[in-house]
Amino acid sequence: MAAAAASAGVGAGVAAMLQVPERVVEVAVPVRRDSGEIEVFTGWRVHHNVARGPAKGGIRFHPALTASEVSALAADMSLKTAVVDIPFGGGKGGVRCDPGAMSLGELERLTRRYTVAIASLLGPDQDVPAPDVNTDERVMAWLLDTVDVLHGRSMPAVVTGKPLAVGGMRLHAGATASGVVRCVRAAFGALHRDLVGARAVLQGFGKVGGPLAFLLQSAGMRVVAVADVGGAVWNPGGLDTAGLADHVTAGGSMGSFPGGSALDPTELWEVEAELTVPAALEGAIDAAVAERLASALVVEAANGPVTPAADEILARRGTIVVPDILANAGGVTASYFEWAQSRQGYPWDEALVATRLGRTIDDAFSTVWARSQSLGATLRHAANVVAVERIAAAIEARGLFP
Ligand code: NAD
C-alpha cells in the first residue's frame, strides 16, 4: 500500500492512516460444547478504513486465524471495494476455531455468541459482514437472526450472502466466477487475443472454480487442465466441465474422470495454455512455479495466489497478472447489490444483477488497464494506485475530526 500511496501522490499523513486499521476488536467467544463443557474461542472484527462507506468483508472460521491476518484481509477489502468503486470501506472478521470438529449446534452457538460480542460494530450503515472461508449462507442467517433479536427489528441489510428465504440475492453464489470471466474477456480484448479456442488451466474446483470452469467453456475456451486438492486432470482438446462437475459431485476424483488423463498436480502450471486461473490457495504460484509457468496471462480468482517474489518473476517474464482485488471483486459487487436490495425492500431481477455486475467489472478493468499503461506498471500496482487514490480522496474530502 505504501508504494501505491507514493505513486498516487498521497500525502504522508493520509498514507500513514492507511498503514493501520481504524479499529481492531478482539473478543472472547465462550461456547458450550455438546459435552456440556465450556470452551473459549478468540474472535476478531477489524475495520481497516471506512472513509468510503460501511466496513464490508467476510467472516472466516479457521483454526490458524490470527489478528494480523484478519487486519491484512481487512486492508485488502478497502482496496477491493475502492477499485470497483462501490460505497464501502474495508473490514474482515473471524473466529479461531476448527469448524470441521464442531457439531451443527456448536457452530450455531459459536456464531451467535460471536455476533453478540461484535454486535455494537454491526449495522447496515456501519459494518456489513458476508461469508468467507468455512462460513456460508446458513452462518449468515444465524448472524442476521441474532442481530434482529438483539435490536427487536428486522435488519436484512446488516449482512450479505444470506439465503434467498431471508432476502438474499439471486446470482450471488456465482458472482465471483462471473466477475473473473468478465476480467478474462476484458484482458483478452485488451491484449488483442482471441478468446474462442484459447486454452485455460484452472487450479481449484470449489465455489469459485467450479462455476468458473463451466463459464470459461461457455465463453468458447478450452479448459485443458483442472486441479483440486485430490488431484488433476488434463485433456488438450478441452474438458467437458459439466461432466467433470457431475463426476466430482458423485464423489469421483479429478484423476479418475473418464474425459481426460490423470495429471500430476505439480505439472499443472507447465500445461501449455493461454490463460492460468488460480482459484484455490493463497501462495499457490511461488517463485519456483513462476519460473516455469507456461501461460502468459494469469487471472487471480483466489485471494493472494501469487507470492510477491513470484510477482516480480512474472513481471520480468512479461506475464500479465490481473490482480485479485479486481479479478475476484464480482462477489463483493453482488454483495453491494444485495445490500441495496435489502435497503430498498424490493428484489432485483437476475437480468439487472447480471447487467450491473458486468458493467461494474468492465469499468474497473478499463480504469486499471489505462492506469497501468500510463504508469508503465503492472496491473497490480495500477489497481492499488486507483484504489488508494479513491480512499485518499474520501479521507481528504471529509477532513479530520476533531
Ligand atoms: P472452496 O473451498 O469452495 O474451494 C477451494 C478449491 O481449492 C477446492 O476445489 C479444493 O479442492 C481446492 N484446493 C484446495 N487445496 C488445494 C491444493 N493443494 N491444490 C489444488 N487445489 C486445492 O473455496 P472458494 O470459495 O472457491 O475460494 C477459492 C479462493 O477464492 C480463495 O482464495 C477465496 O479466498 C477466493 N475467493 C472466493 C470468493 C467466493 O465468492 N467464494 C470471493 C472472492 C475470493
Ligand 1 pocket: which of 60, 84, 208 to mutate (most atoms <8 Å of CB)? 208
Tens digits of residue pLDDT in 154-192: 999 999 999 999 999 988 889 999 999 999 999 999 999
Q: Which residue has the higher pLDDT, 8 or 241?
A: 241
Average model confidence (pLDDT) for the chain? 97
Return the closest-CA partner of residue 209 out of 307, 130, 276. 276
30 CA distance to ligand 1 middle (Å): 29
CATH class of 175-322: alpha beta
Q: Which residues contact residue 310 at a Cβ distance below 8 angstroms, ignoring those fewer than 6 apart?
A: 285, 286, 287, 289, 290
Q: Are 97 and 24 in contact (CB under 8 A)?
A: no
280 CA distance to ligand 1 middle (Å): 4
User: 131 pLDDT exceeds 90?
Assistant: yes
Which pLDDT score is estimated for 172? 83
User: 124 pLDDT exceeds 90?
Assistant: yes
Residue for grid cell 495466489: 305
208 CA distance to ligand 1 middle (Å): 6
- Give the closest residue (by CA) to ligand 1 atom 1: 206
CA-to-CA dists, residue 103 to 100, 111, 340, angstroms: 8, 12, 34
Cβ of 64: how many Cβ atoms within 10 Å? 7
User: Is 301 near ligand 1, meaning CB less than 6 Å away?
Assistant: yes
User: Is 33 near ligand 1, meaning CB less than 6 Å away?
Assistant: no
36 CA distance to ligand 1 middle (Å): 34
Return the closest-CA partner of residue 337 out of 323, 326, 351, 327. 351
- Give the closest residue (by CA) to ligand 1 atom 34: 303
> Would you call 92 a catalytic residue per the annotation?
yes
281: confidence class by pLDDT, cuts 50, 70, 90: confident
Q: Are 77 and 332 in contact (CB under 8 A)?
A: yes
What average pLDDT score do residues 118-141 get?
97
User: Is 302 near ligand 1, meaning CB less than 6 Å away?
Assistant: yes
Which pLDDT score is estimated for 171? 86
272: confidence class by pLDDT, cuts 50, 70, 90: very high
**Boundaries of CATH 3.40.50.720 in the chain?**
175-322
User: Is 207 near ligand 1, meaning CB less than 6 Å away?
Assistant: yes
- Give the closest residue (by CA) to ligand 1 atom 24: 207
User: Is 81 near ligand 1, meaning CB less than 6 Å away?
Assistant: no
User: Is 206 near ligand 1, meaning CB less than 6 Å away?
Assistant: yes
**Boundaries of CATH 3.40.50.10860 in the chain?**
15-155
- Give the closest residue (by CA) to ligand 1 atom 19: 229
Tens digits of residue pLDDT in 187-237: 999 999 999 999 999 999 999 999 999 999 999 999 999 999 999 999 999
User: 273 pLDDT exceeds 90?
Assistant: yes
341 CA distance to ligand 1 middle (Å): 27
User: Is 328 near ligand 1, meaning CB less than 6 Å away?
Assistant: yes
CA distance 4 to 229: 34
User: Is 248 near ligand 1, meaning CB less than 6 Å away?
Assistant: no
Q: Which long-range contacts (CB under 8 A, 24 or more apart) does 137-140 make?
A: 137/161, 137/162, 137/163, 137/168, 138/163, 139/59, 139/61, 139/107, 139/111
Tens digits of residue pLDDT in 62-117: 999 999 999 999 999 999 999 999 999 999 999 999 999 999 999 999 999 999 99
400 CA distance to ligand 1 middle (Å): 40
Cα dihedral 189, 194, 200, 205 sign: positive
401 CA distance to ligand 1 middle (Å): 41
Which pLDDT score is estimated for 242? 97
What is the side-by-side order of every strand in the sheet holding 231-234?
A: 261-263, 231-234, 222-228, 199-203, 275-278, 297-299, 320-322
Q: Which long-range contacts (CB under 8 A, 24 or more apart) does 310-315 make?
A: 310/285, 310/286, 311/378, 311/380, 313/287, 314/285, 314/290, 315/378
128 CA distance to ligand 1 middle (Å): 22
The domain over range 15-155 is classified in CATH as 3.40.50.300: no
User: 357 pLDDT exceeds 90?
Assistant: yes
User: Is 269 near ligand 1, meaning CB less than 6 Å away?
Assistant: no
Which pLDDT score is estimated for 63? 97
User: Is 253 near ligand 1, meaning CB less than 6 Å away?
Assistant: no
Ligand 1 pocket: which of 229, 241, 263 to mutate (most atoms <8 Å of CB)? 229
2: confidence class by pLDDT, cuts 50, 70, 90: confident
Cβ of 23: how many Cβ atoms within 10 Å? 15
Catalytic residue among 56, 92, 162, 207: 92
